[in-house]
Chains A and B, each alone.
Chain A
Amino acid sequence: MTTLLAVNGITKRFGAVTVLDGVSLDVRPGEIHALLGANGAGKSTLCRIISGLLASDEGSMRLAERAYAPRSKQAAERAGVQIVQQELNQVRTLTVAENIYLTRLPNVCGVVRPRRLAQQARRVLDHFGLNDVDTDTVMGTLGVGRQQMVEIATALDRQCRLLILDEPTAALSGGETQRLFQRLRTMRDQGIGIIYISHRLDEVAQLSDRITVLRDGQAVCTRPTSSLSTDQMVDLMAGAASGQQHAFRSFATDQTMLRVENLSAGMVRDVSFSVRRGERLGIAGLVGSGRTELLRAVFGADPAQGGTVQIGAGRPRLFSQPSQAVAAGLAMVTEDRKHSGLLLRQSIRSNTTINSLGRRFASFGIIRRQRESQAAQTMAAQLDTKCNHIEQMVGTLSGGNQQKVAISKWLVRDAEVFFFDEPTRGIDVAARRRIYRLIESLAEAGKAVVIVSSDLDELLETSDRIGVMSAGKWVDDFARGSWSAEQIMRAAFAGYRDAETVA
């Protein structure tokens, strides 16, 4: 069988840390090759090397039987290698069309030809089924999922022999994901080689032909997908110690801790719900159904138009600032950790203690450095945050470890009600298990927990009860034991059907 890309003994070190250690891999034309591995196993680094974003320290590559050592992303693209990275790489202030053709705007002597641009962009979008996205829309006004779709459509439109997708579905809804898979299969059938990274094992099982597992910077094995169950995949990624699912234990009491009444904010219409001490409430819904908006309005991050929020025995009120919500006992681990969760250019220590400095680590406004460092150290050890030391910049950590830091600041601060918005987005299986355990221990300690997730399996595994939002409304509530995934999915679409009949 022919080989499209042959990677031979690639090694990459960052300082003293070896991220990739003699990794070899082969991708055939016309196959979807999945890359699996825990956080920091080296998947993204390997892809960055293949796509010319990073140079390897040792090893060689061959592309279509020719020596291949791209010095830049452009060089890789010329050789026929395209990458869609985990992070969005778009200019938010430009239009969709301008973003699609950013590096090759149709022009005459430097003057852009807007008609031609719009036509070409329209074709790219339609080709990918994005008929409802206007080419003149400013990128930043689209939702994250839509932005991701445009980015993928852009990459798929360019001529390539090898396509690399790094966690492309993290922000996509189920329908969008299926549409993407369809396109990928078509491309495969045209003889294009595809490297696909995802933490969603069911996706990998459904889509890929072969799987290569990376663990601690080494390639563990390459197997045909059909020969592996998802449990076996987890075992391979985790190594000897496999992440076993353990039975759900409920810690819910009958004491109401958070009561939200008739809350309206932006697209969120008249939502009421409550959470009890020790209870874990999951909120399901499609991307764009208003789940994040609901949490943000309760937390005081966005203004609400009406309704009340009551915590414990406090008076029902609305928070106009997150500071008020935090003072009342709310904590929120945000969806977007780079933008609103973390201080990327600061140390793990600073990030861990930022919102409890005044309460726990200072006297008369002067920071007690020793105490602060100790707390950060303890947190890092407790959550198993992989880092060299606590003075390391958070921006240099892998996604899962960044998330642990984002959570740890709330653990240090402590609260009565914890909001988790997409707590495991882009995080590997091992770190995910660690975070589930953590959420469980919060419930055990009598905290009320609310989890918003696009991953229904996640909610089914972690929640006592699942509420469903649809088109800004709270449509249904399911208790553990009396739910099914089908029921929940049906409820998630309910609001959109209603909306049509009303309109």
Chain B
Amino acid sequence: MITKQMKGTVAQYGGLLTALALLILVFSLRTDSFFQLGTARLIANQIPELTLLAVGMTLVLLIGQIDLSVGSVMALAGAVLGVLMAKHDWSLGAAVLAGLATAAACGWTTGAISIWFRIPSFIVSLGMLQIARGATRRLLESKTLTIGSDIAVISEPLPGIGLSPAFLIAIVAVFAAQFLISGTVFGRYCVAIGTNAEAVRMSGIRTAPYAITVFVISGLLCGLAALAPTSLMEAADPGAGNGIELSAIAACVIGGTSLMGGRGNAISTFLGVLVIAVLQTGLSRMSVEDANKQIVTGVVIIIAVLIDTVRRNWEKSAS
């Protein structure tokens, strides 16, 4: 029983783990400083933001939708948090809740408008991207707002384990999302809606509430993600998360999530995030120019998806 389960796990994650191991191996051979605990810590502190956004994106892609506004919404949540703490002396807890509520409201708006009025979420979330970014700049008067050291605890490594609360939150989110997808009625409905929403409706299940809830969850995860950059910088940045939605989508796709809906896995998405993070860090260590770094990252994304697709087709024809 255990071996069968393990076999399934290897089959599911084996490709991604191999790719990750290869990347680590290459960077370890090419640079002296890569294969160290310090590097792992560095990466662990970098990824919470992208991980949380990518997990939310996985759920949104799963139901056959897309949310391009996640980077801006995260920035807006960070701005709300920063303004409340720096200018109105709110406590950390209360300010975090306000940030989460703001982000959830953005997610709900995007979801409700695209689902109720059947407007492609690509367009609605593109609008929300602009609105949230504009609102962020308005709140922060387009300047970085220093919050103070209260918020720093979220990114400070906890004594003993050497990992930050932000990282732990991200990991919990990954496993919670995976459980949601594979173990709950909600998740099953999401997969079904992404596969054939009309068939789900004709089965007597109302699809709109589930689809909108997914956007709200994605919004909440944006709110959580906002904690990572604000606590690292101890400031709210009007440019936070600019363009990060594309990295989030890339992480999902590297992890095998289908852009057509109906297939997605949060753990694979996390491995996708790791691939991107290891690549970025490794290339920096090798002192590769930024321009070349971008090219290499793009190539890796395409190769990863290519391998995954070829493998899937091969499995299909074999079964």
Contacts and interface: CB of A to CB of B under 8 A. Distances in A.
Interface of A: 15, 299, 301, 321-323, 325-327, 332, 334, 339-346, 350, 354-355, 357-358, 362, 365-367, 369, 409, 413
B199 A326 contact: no
Contacts of A325: 204
Interface in B180-196: 183-186, 188-189, 191-192, 195-196
Contacts of B199: 339-343
A344 B184 CA distance: 21
Given A323-B205, A367-B185, A339 B195 contact: no
A326 B184 CA distance: 21
A357 B319 contact: no
B318 A15 contact: yes
Contacts of A345: 195-196, 262-263
A409 B205 CA distance: 13
A299 B200 CA distance: 14
B188 A357 contact: yes
B198 interface: yes
Given A15-B318, A358-B185, A340 B202 contact: yes
6 contacts: A301-B202, A327-B204, A350-B191, A354-B205, A365-B184, A367-B184
A323 B208 CA distance: 12
Contact of B192 (A299, A354, A367): A354
Contacts of B205: 323, 354-355
B201 interface: yes
Contact of A366 (B184, B201, B263, B319): B184
A340 B200 CA distance: 8
A365 B198 contact: no
A292 to B, nearest CB: 12
B183 A323 contact: no
B206 interface: yes
Nearest to B204: A326
Contacts of B192: 343, 346, 350, 354
A339 B204 contact: no
Query: Quick one: which of A299, A345, A358 has the most chain B CB within 10 A?
Result: A345
Given A346-B191, A365-B186, A340 B198 contact: yes
B197 to A, nearest CB: 10
B188 A367 contact: yes
Contacts of A355: 203-205
Q: Ordered nearest first, which 6 A-B pairs have the shortest CB separation?
A: A326-B204, A355-B203, A343-B195, A340-B202, A323-B206, A357-B185
Contact of A346 (B186, B198, B262, B319): B262
Interface of B: 183-186, 188-189, 191-192, 195-196, 198-206, 262-263, 318-319
Nearest to A333: B202
A435 B37 CA distance: 64
A354 B193 CA distance: 11
Contacts of A327: 204
Nearest to B318: A15
Contacts of B318: 15
Contacts of B184: 362, 365-367
Given A345-B262, A346-B262, A334 B196 contact: no
Nearest to A361: B185
A413 B196 CA distance: 19
Contacts of A334: 202
B201 A322 contact: yes
A325 B203 CA distance: 10
Contact of B204 (A15, A322, A344): A322
B188 A354 contact: yes
A404 B201 CA distance: 19
Nearest to A330: B204
A328 to B, nearest CB: 10
A299 B202 CA distance: 9
B198 A344 contact: no
A357 B188 CA distance: 9
A144 to B, nearest CB: 16
Nearest to B196: A343
A354 B183 contact: no
Nearest to A331: B204
A343 B63 CA distance: 13
A323 B207 CA distance: 10
A341 B199 CA distance: 5
Nearest to B198: A340
Contacts of A342: 196, 199
